[in-house]
Structure 1
């Protein structure tokens, strides 16, 4: 019998989706011919030949959260829990994006990218969750252990097409799962949630690539508008989302795990800032960093580069620590908390000359 860890979940027929072709999903913009997929050498280096600074030399600071603190949190609170996992309090309910709480972003418990820090709060200490918002099915965004622990305490799971089929195969009751194509959405408790385009890919095994859809999300709470990027390369879709839904009070934007070999599916920091501008964003919160080493860059580089670029472009940037509360009504810049945890003083940037590599 095959291990359930590698069980290939049955995926429904989504051939009616404009994003579907021959049983696989695709992006709005084809991959440019001059931008090939990473070859075996690139993948080998990412897996086995990384520089030492892709991982922090010392434990990172985390502000521990308690259930009592969350119960007392005001409306429109945001807590970053790690990577792309964010906890939001909206309309009296808690919403969780791409919940990953496992030690590794991997199908194997003993191999693959390992967390730099523990989550600020454990899965079992979380309050009841009104909804989980999923962007796609990669291991650093869809954690089967977390889904198993959350399903009894979560009222609804929102996902792109096909990702919900994985949840059903894992035992999540069908009445809790809602799946959406791009530009489709729902209203819950007065919140409007819409799946919007992204430029990425999907799959959890060697033969199931792009059988499920990927998306970004727009969250509207009356006049408050939030954007959650999921994983994405830079593309024209940001401007279209901005035209339809902007301006956004806060954009939660992928800023990490980038590489010169895969800009089609992961943005470089200068693209993150431009996408935020395309979306007509007010405050930018960089996510998809500070928890796993998924590329060849130094673990702290995404923070430094986006900080410098945001300053150059006049973008308001917020960088809360893991576990720190952010008031969605009045975001604050946050501290440069990562700088005290670099490997040596020579690595620490000098104020006013933050990063010699702020250009691509």
Structure 2
């Protein structure tokens, strides 16, 4: 697919906009679509995304400014991909906002948005550059300018982003990794698996092994799983080691188990290595575990910077990482990539962003860091009347 820039359409005499009544045109121009069409859509820089497409003469791409504009509108109204595609066909405000009122057929299909996200993800993986992030940042700056927000006062906070994965027990996790590798091996060579391991390729086997047996047999089932895992390791010594399924299988065993006196068993806290970065589900191997405010989270975290002014506020930058990435780390990375500010800038955060290094780094960028105090958690009553030595290691 080759890249072709989309010169956004001006309203013409043959445009469907001309078929609206005067009352309908007036209502449309008073809606949010008018601001989006005049201020946001023209500011989308398509050329930065040209690297995602071929230079060879072939079928041209779906207009990038329409895709990016649709992704923004999708988030504004909390649409799903399918809802966005359907609403663009039926809602004239969306067509007006994206300058597609002159199109005979709306350019988005059910796969357009997901394929574009995949292209951006693959490019970031290879080149460590998030094209969509850069585009959104530029648009945020334009919106802030439109709202007359100077950016001298900013707020920063983080939020948990849940991964769309199932919470797995350790037995379920090990079984799932074994099953995925077994299915992959069986597809490559249906005679690769011995008969006693072929049940892992059956979609109904998971329920039979995990749920349809007595709970008192759990220890025996686990021993059998670990024994089968060792068999698979031996079978994969010469082949299959280049597959993703094999990598996830080996990672699961290294994180969840240890070999002691020639026998594999589950890892315990005493063995070490039990931490939040351990794989939660092979369907999303990058998702991590974090407990925050008494709740368990599996997935990622977003760090948002918001510029504030008299006319409101707008998110002008964001960061995205695994959810065991601390707020303090986010701030350090943000300040390191920030250019020194010409005018004194204030960033207001909660206490989790505080620290001597952060304050010093902010000062070097001409930024005043204001953080709320960290109260910490209350000491348990049982500790109230105990006196410790200076190192806190001995009860006096």
TM bucket (normalised to shorter chain) is under 0.3
Give the TM-score normalised by structure 1.
Answer: 0.24
Higher relative contact order (CA 8 A, sep 6+): 1
More helix by share: 2
Give the TM-score normalised by structure 2.
Answer: 0.23
More strand by share: 1
